[in-house]
């Protein structure tokens, strides 16, 4: 508590530095929250993709799933299979390769 007056005095005297410090901390917190949100979203997408009622189609003989390129018009062909209820072409940019 005895340093509080000194801290307030320095905040008044160095407004630009204090403002830039607050701005830097705010940006860091925003970036952290943004990436945590992205990680959570990707985890839920991967979890939903792994459910039993989903079919994931990849290109044959692709070394990695990132290299798998399937034309979007294949969705209509896959939708014609009797047991398929709906199709949705999705581009997922996540890999373990």
Q: What percent of the chain has pLDDT over 70?
A: 73
User: What pLDDT does residue 65 have?
Assistant: 60
Residue 97 pLDDT greater than 70, yes or no: no
User: What pLDDT does residue 71 have?
Assistant: 79
Domain locations along the chain = 1-52, 55-97
Distance CA 67, CA 61 (A): 10
- Give the tens place of pLDDT for each residue, 19-61: 999 999 999 999 999 999 998 888 888 777 766 676 777 667 6
The residue-averaged pLDDT of 70-88 equals: 83
What's the distance, CA 13 to chain centroid? 41
């Amino acid at each position: 508590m005895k340093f509080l007056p000194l801290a307030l005095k320095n905040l008044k005297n160095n407004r630009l530095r204090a403002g830039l410090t607050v701005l830097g901390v705010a940006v860091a917190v925003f970036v952290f929250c943004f990436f945590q949100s992205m990680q959570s979203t990707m985890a839920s997408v991967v979890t939903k993709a792994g459910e039993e009622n989903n079919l994931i189609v990849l290109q044959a003989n692709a070394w990695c799933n990132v290299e798998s390129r399937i034309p979007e018009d294949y969705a209509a062909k896959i939708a014609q299979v009797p047991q398929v209820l709906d199709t949705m072409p999705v581009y997922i940019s996540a890999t373990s390769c």
